[in-house]
Structure 1
Amino acid sequence: MDDNITYIEEDTFSELDYNSDPLLRIIASILLFILVLFGVFGNLALIHIIANKWRIQTSFNLFIANIALADILITVAMTSFLLSHMFFGEFIYGEIVCKIIVFLNYFGPNLTTFSIIMALVVLQFEVIGFKYSSIAIGITYIISSPVGVLYANFAKIIKIDANSESESVQIEHCIEDFPNYETQINVEYFGNFFIIVLPIICLIFYFFLKTLSKCTKYKILPGFPQEKLIVLLAILNTFVWILMLEIGFLSQVLETSIYLLLFIAHTTIGFSIILKPILYALLHEGFKKELKVIVGWKTNAVDRAQLF
Structure 2
Amino acid sequence: MKKSIVGLALTVILIAVLLMPLPSLYMPSYLISLSDPLTGVWGSVYTARYPAQGRVVFPGLKDKVVVVIDNYGVPYVFAKSEHDLAYALGYLHARDRLFQMDLQRRLVDGRLSEVLGEAAYETDLFYRTAGLYRGAQKSLKLLQSVAKGEKIDYYPQLDVAPIRDDAKRLLELLSAYSEGVNAAIEEMKRNNALPIEFKLLGYAPEEWTPLDCLKIGRLVAWGLTGTFVDLELYLIYSGLVAKYGNEVGTQLFLEVLPIDRPIDHFIVPEGEQFLHPVDPTDPPVAGSLKCNAVAELL
TM category, shorter: under 0.3
Q: Answer with 1 or 2: which has the greater Rg.
A: 2
Give TM-score scaled by structure 1 length.
0.26
Task: Please state which structure has a larger fraction of its residues in helix.
Answer: 1
Q: TM-score, normalised by structure 2?
A: 0.27
Higher relative contact order (CA 8 A, sep 6+): 2
